[in-house]
Amino acid sequence: MEIYRGFPIPGGGLLIGVGFYGGVGEIGGNKILISGRDGSVFLDFGLNMRKKREYGIGYGRERVSRILRNYILLEILPRLRGIYREDLLGEGGQLSGAEEADPQACLISHAHLDHYGLVGFLKPEIPIAVSKTTAALIKHSLETGSLAGPEADVLVYRDRLLRERMGGEADPERRRELRDRLAVERPRIIFSGGREVSGMPFSIEPYPVDHSVPAFGFLIDVGEAQIAYTGDLRIHGVVKHYTEKFMENARRVDYLIIEGTRITDSTHMTESKVREYALRELRDKEGKFAAAIISAHDIDRLRTMIEVAQELGRTPILSPKLAHLLKTLKEGETHLRSLPEPGKDFLIYYERRSLTEGGYLLSSRYYYSWQRQIYREHRGHVIKPEEIARSQGDYLMIFAGLGYVTELVDVNPMPGSLFIESTSEPFDEEQEIEWEKVERWISWLRMDRVHIHSSGHANREDLLKIIDEISPRAVIPIHTESPREFKKLIGRGGSKVIVPEEAARIELRL
């Protein structure tokens, strides 16, 4: 094994190369380029949110005219020629002398921004390969406003240069022609578990794994070597058997590219324990209001909270965004079965947004179009905050997003009501500041706060178990701030540990 920082590889004899352009010594931002004799593919093309926040100034968005160039300069995006959309590259020359890549596709392991958040910058000719569930989750995020500008061009490519030209075009027919070319669906390859992904330059088989959202790992056979890529995974969730099957099929691969988010953490909390503790806390709050905040796409946690509420005779109330999530998943014909349904399993919280008609004028500009659609489709299954306030002990309100805590003001919870934090704890200073604001609101509302959460990532012992059972020739840790911890823990006699370097290519020779 050797590491090179340029193309072509000195001495020739290319067997297989793996380039790491994100997720190295950091949590998230995975961008891994696998190259073989017949071509290359990206595994994920994620956003390092911490790095983006470190350079974000003020409340405005980055100018479209410079966002791609700035991201390359700040190493949020890799300095590679041949992969980026031309409408945003300009003539800056910042890629002069850069390495060149020509990926045949970008595979997305799951719908978290740190794995797909920079796909919008790829040129539209590069197909994205996703599962139906991941595509539906991304669609939900885009429709409800999680991304904007070029970063939102994940599923549909919008040519900014054409839009500018169209604005100065006087000929109506020419304007119509340009308009038709403004937004084009990116080529999409849909894959499903256990079946080889079509259109790839070498064999890639996706396998579902246990994570906080529906996710996939990949088994890659380039002929000369076999690679397993975990994406993000765990073996303590409701579908831990997915990860176990992935481990079984990955046994004895040559190289295991494994996430290590929690390689220094031994704490262990299962989804069944989340259920048990939530039941206990809610029983102690009989007759009082209760609310739970969960991660945005955590379907398992959403199901857990709905079931807990129902077991205790409380009606679950979902935020409109969570209702939209379930609607999108159902319409996307995903592999998920028995999704909760409005009316049957939950009610939808009716946000008071307008300035007239008591705050519920749906035609008001203060309602988003997706919210209007949800409320109109399910008008018989909505509940207003004043209705909740009259019978507070009858409900469990479930939402995602820290800002939603201010909605509780309209409910006016009685003192001693329960607030369940069922999402990951802050992992940097900026998130800590945001959580401190939430805690101030909870204190002001005189609610009692408890943290009940099961991580979407395997802990140290489970990571070592995964490595031991797969028993690869070499382990390559990514998505971790402590990659060298793997060297200490695996020890002599175990798999070899290769610590990758940012923007370097590992040439794997057997």
Neighbouring C-beta atoms of residue 194, cutoff 10 Å: 13
Token couple for 94: 């910042």
Residue given tokens 């955590």 in the structure block: 298
Question: Do 467 and 415 sit in the same domain of this protein?
Answer: no
Q: What is the pTM of this model?
A: 0.91
Sheet containing strand 448-451, edge to edge, reads: 382-383, 347-349, 315-318, 395-400, 290-294, 418-422, 448-451
DSSP state of 243: H
**Does residue 383 share a domain with residue 238?**
no
Write the DSSP assignment of 371-412 as a string of letters: HHHHHHHTGGGEE-HHHHHHTGGGEEEEEESGGGGGGHHHH-
Same domain? For 29 and 159 the reply is yes
Residue 465 CA to residue 460 CA, distance in Å, equals 9
- Give which of 272, 279, 350, 349 is closest to 313, Cα–Cα: 279
Residue 149 pLDDT = 86
| pLDDT attached to residue 509 | 63
What is the DSSP secondary structure assignment for residue 94, as one 8-state letter? Answer: T
Q: Is 388 exposed, middle or buried (0-12, 13-18, 19+ CB in 10 A)?
A: buried
pLDDT at 3: 43
Q: CA 413: distance to chain centroid?
A: 32
Range of the domain at 102: 2-264+458-508
DSSP state of 121: G
pLDDT in tens, the chain (510 residues): 444 333 344 344 444 789 999 999 999 999 999 999 899 999 999 999 888 888 776 555 667 778 999 999 999 999 999 999 988 887 655 687 888 899 999 999 999 999 999 999 999 999 999 999 999 999 999 999 867 889 999 999 988 777 666 655 555 665 565 565 678 899 999 999 989 999 999 999 999 999 999 999 999 999 889 999 999 999 999 999 999 999 999 999 999 999 999 999 999 999 999 999 999 999 999 999 999 999 999 999 999 999 999 999 999 999 999 999 999 999 988 888 789 999 999 999 999 999 999 999 999 999 999 999 999 999 999 999 999 999 999 999 999 988 899 999 999 999 999 999 999 876 667 778 888 999 999 999 999 999 999 999 999 999 999 999 999 999 999 999 999 999 999 966 679 999 999 988 888 765
278 and 260 share one domain: no
Query: So what's the pLDDT on residue 273?
Result: 97
Would you give the DSSP letter of residue 484?
Answer: H
- Residue 418 · residue 340 · CB < 8 Å: no
Claim to verify: residue 188 and residue 318 sit in the same structural domain: no
- To which H or E segment does residue 349 belong? strand 347-349
Same domain, 140 and 114: yes
Do 260 and 284 lie in one domain? The reply is no
Tell me, yes or no, whether 335 and 440 share the same domain: yes
312: amino acid identity, one letter = L
128 with 75, same domain: the answer is: yes
Pairwise CA distance, residues 431 & 214, whole Å: 24
Q: How many domains does the chain have?
A: 2
Of 427, 451, 475, the domain-final residue: 451
My answer on whether 187 and 298 are in the same domain is no
Which amino acid type is present at position 281?
E
Q: Is the distance from CB of 73 to CB of 193 less than 8 angstroms?
A: no
User: For residue 34, how far is the Cα from the chain centroid?
Assistant: 21
CB 218 within 8 A of CB 130: no
The vertex-393 CA angle with 389 and 396, nearest 5°, equals: 90
Q: What is the DSSP letter of 13?
A: -
Tell me: do 44 and 134 sit in the same domain: yes
Residue whose token pair is 């004895």: 252
> Which run of H or of E encompasses 163?
helix 160-167
DSSP letters for 49-73:
HHHHHHH--SSSPPPHHHHHHHHHH
| Boundary residue ending a domain (451, 473, 497) | 451
At 352 the pLDDT is 96
CA–CA distance, 420 with 298 (Å, rounded to integer): 15
In degrees and rounded to multiples of 5, residue 398 shows phi and psi of -125, 130
Q: Beta strand pairing status for 347-349 and 382-383?
A: parallel
Instruction: Please give the single-letter amino acid code of residue 442.
Output: I
Nearest CA among 166, 156, 179, 176 for reference residue 85:
156
Q: Residue 420's domain is classified under what CATH number?
A: 3.40.50.10710
User: Among 265, 188, 224, 221, which residue's Cα sits nearest to residue 480?
Assistant: 265
Rg (CA), the chain: 24
> Which CA distances in Å does 142 have to 74, 112, 145, 363?
25, 12, 5, 22
What is d(CA 164, CA 151) in angstroms, rounded to the nearest whole number?
Answer: 18
Domain boundary among 414, 429, 451: 451
Query: Do 34 and 140 belong together in one domain?
Result: yes
Q: How confident is the model at residue 428, as a pLDDT?
A: 66
Q: Which pLDDT score is estimated for 493?
A: 66
DSSP β-bridge partners for residue 188: 128
Q: For residue 482, which amino acid is it?
A: S
List the CATH number of the domain containing 225. 3.60.15.10
